[in-house]
Amino acid sequence: MAVNKIDAKLLAKLFLSGAKNLEAKKEWINELNVFPVPDGDTGTNMTMTIMSAAKEVNSLMNTNDITMETLCKAISSGSLRGARGNSGVILSQLLRGFTKVIKEHDEVDIPLLADSFEKAVETAYKAVMKPKEGTILTVAKGIYDKSRELADSGYDNLEEFFKAVIEHAEYTLSLTPEMLPVLKQAGVVDSGGQGLVEVLHGAFDAFMGKEVDFTSFAKPADSSAQGGARAEIETDNIKFGYCTEFIIMLDKVFNVKHEMDFKAYLESIGDSIVLVADDEIVKVHVHTNDPGLAIQKALKYGALSNMKIDNMRLEHEERLFKNGEAEGKTEEASAELKDYGFVSVSAGDGLSEIFKGLGVDYVIEGGQTMNPSTEDIVSAVEKINAKTVFVLPNNKNIIMAANQAEYLVEDKKVIVIPTKTIPQGIAALINFAPDQDADTNKESMIGELEFVKTGQVTYAVRDTMIDDKEIREGDFMGIGDSGLLSVNADINQATFEMIDAMVDDSVELLSIYYGADVTEEDANAISDYVSGKYPHCDVEVECGGQPVYYYIISAE
C-alpha cells in the first residue's frame, strides 16, 4: 500500500539520509566553484551546517519520546548554530522555515509539505539582503512551485510526489547557468543548488527503504559545557539589574516600524537588547531596572509567554559566596566590563598578530579555506568582557553567519561590520574611535570600507574561462573586489598586472601581506616594482602567513 503520510521518526530518517548524501558529495560540490581557486567550500559549508543538526537529530533518535516538535527544534536549532558560509546560512534558513510549519503536526502529507516548502523559501529569501536568481534560492523555489502544483492537483502518493519534485529540482538546477552568466562561462551549475538537490536525493533513498548508518553521527557536545554568557559578567557595578526575557505571541501587525519603535523604547529603559521577530512571535531580551515597563509595552502587541526575570545583582553575590569569595574578589571577578571589544576572523599567524596589535580581543582562525560557524562566532563574542562587541568577518562568505550570531548573543550588544576582505577589516579597526559611541563608530567604520581596494593572488585548480580571460590549471590569478584582474603563468607578472589594475591617481598607500608560501625577498621584489612605477604611493610589506593566497594587497 502506498505511503501518503510521514511521522516524526520517518522524517528524522529522511533528514539524516539527506545529510549523509550531502556529506558524501561535498568534494564534488566544492569543485563547482565558479572561480577555479583551491578554496571552493560550498559543499563543506553546507555539510557542516546540516551535520550540526544531524548530530542533534541522531541524539534524539536514541530516545523514545521523539515527536515532530522535538525533531523540528533539533533541526532548526542545530542548523542555525552550525551554519557556515552563505550557502550554509541559506540552508539553515530553509530548514528553519520548513520546520515552522510542520512542528504543530503529528504527521506530514503532501499539502503540508507544499506549505512547508513555501515557508522555507519565504524564510530563506528574507535572510538574504539582495536575493539573486540562479542560486540555491532559485532551486528551492522550484521545489516549492512543483510541490504546490502537485498538491493542488490532488496528488496523494508520496513516492510519485518525491520523484516529480526531485526531477523538477534537477531541471531548475540545470537552468541556473542561463540565469547567471558567470556560471555559464565557467561551465558549472550553482553549487549551493546542487547541494540542496543532493539532500533531496538522500532523503528519497531513505523513503524508499535504504538503511542509514546512524552510528556515523557523533553525539553533539554538551552546550552547557561552555557555560552561560552571563556567568562571565562578574561585576557588582551593574547599571541595569534585571535580566528580562519573554516571548510575545503576536495578535496584531508587527512590521519593521513597530520593531524599530519597540527596540528604541527598550533602549530608553535598559541595555543588552536582543529583539528577534518573525510573523508569529517576537523574542525579547533586555537588561533593565524596571521589567514592568518592558512587559507593559510588549502587551500592546500580544500575549506573553516564556517569561523569565533574573536579579543579576543577587545572582552575582550568590556566585561570589559559593566560590568562597565573600571576603574578596578574584582578579577576573573584579574586572569591570569595558565598553568595547572586538572579534576578527583571520587566517595566518602574521595577520592574526596584526589584528591583535590593532586591539582585537579574539581572533577566530578561518577565512577562505574554512568559514567559521555561527556557533564559533557566538562563542568568541561570549568570551569577551565588554558591553559592545564589534565582529569583523573579513570575508563575504562569513557575513551572514556573523549576522545570525548577532541575534543569538543575549548579554551584550553585537555589531557586525560587513568587512569582505582582510584589508577592509584592518581599515575598519584603524578608523575606530574609542571616545565615540557604538553607533557613530559603526557608521564611520562601514563608511571607510568603500575607500579600500583589495587584490588577492592565488592559483587555478582547473581550466576555465572567466571575464573572457582563458585560465589554465596552474596559472596564477589576481582577483579583485569585483572579479578577475589578471591571469599569468608567472606569479610576479600576475601580481604586477593585478596591481596595475588597482592603482590610480587617488591611491596613496599600498599594503602587501605575503602568504605562507612566499619569502620576504619575493615580497620585497613586488614592493620595489610598486615604488618604481608609482612613486606617489607609500608601500608597506607585512608577513601575513596566510594559506592559499600568495599575496593580499590593499590599495587606499
Class of domain 453-555: alpha beta
**With the C-alpha atoms ordered 126, 129, 132, 136, is the resulting torsion angle positive or negative?**
negative
- Alpha-carbon gap, residue 345 to 357, rounded angstroms: 14
Report yes or no: 226 and 266 within 8 Å, Cβ to Cβ.
no
Q: Which of 477, 500, 446 has the alpha carbon at shortest distance from 551?
A: 477
Contact 260, 254 (CB under 8 A): no
In words, the CATH class of domain 338-450 is alpha beta
CATH assignment, 234-331? 3.30.70
pLDDT at 334 (0 to 100) = 40
Q: What is the rounded distance in angstroms from the CA atom of residue 26 to the CA atom of residue 42?
A: 8
State the Cα–Cα distance between residues 123 and 93, nearest whole angstrom: 6
Residue 510 dihedral angles phi and psi, to the nearest 5°: -115, 125
In the prediction, which pLDDT does 369 show?
58
pLDDT for position 166? 97
| Right CATH for 6-216 from 3.40.50.300, 3.40.50.1260, 1.10.600.10, 1.25.40.340 | 1.25.40.340
Name, in order, each residue with C-beta under 8 angstroms of 204's C-beta and a sequence gap of 6 or more. 14, 162, 163, 166
On the 0-12 / 13-18 / 19+ scale of CB atoms within 10 A, 469 is middle
Asked whether 378 and 364 are in contact (CB, 8 A), the reply is no
Strands 413-416 and 464-466 turn out to be: unpaired
Q: What residues does each domain of the chain span?
A: 6-216, 234-331, 338-450, 453-555
Question: Half-sphere exposure (CA, 13 Å, Cβ side) for 461?
Answer: 12
Determine the pLDDT at residue 318.
Answer: 55
Do 234-331 and 338-450 come out as alike in CATH topology? Answer: no
Give the CA-trace dihedral at 441, 446, 451, 457, to 10 degrees: 120
For each successive 10 residues of the chain (556 residues), what is the average pLDDT?
A: 82 95 91 71 90 90 82 91 88 94 93 96 88 93 96 92 96 95 87 96 93 63 32 48 83 78 84 72 82 88 81 60 47 66 92 92 79 90 93 93 87 94 94 92 94 94 84 93 93 95 92 93 94 92 91 95
The pLDDT assigned to 236 comes to 44
pLDDT on residue 221: 37
Beta partners for 288?
242, 270
Neighbours of 343 (CB within 10 A): 28
pLDDT score recorded for residue 328: 44
Task: Please give the pLDDT value at position 223.
Answer: 34
pLDDT at 333 (0 to 100): 39
Q: Which helix (H) or strand (E) holds 540?
A: strand 538-543
Q: Give me the pLDDT at residue 231, please.
A: 31
Q: How many CB atoms lie within 10 A of CB 123?
A: 22
Residues in a beta bridge with 453: 555
Tell the burial category of 462 from Cβ atoms under 10 Å away from its Cβ (0-12, 13-18, 19+). middle
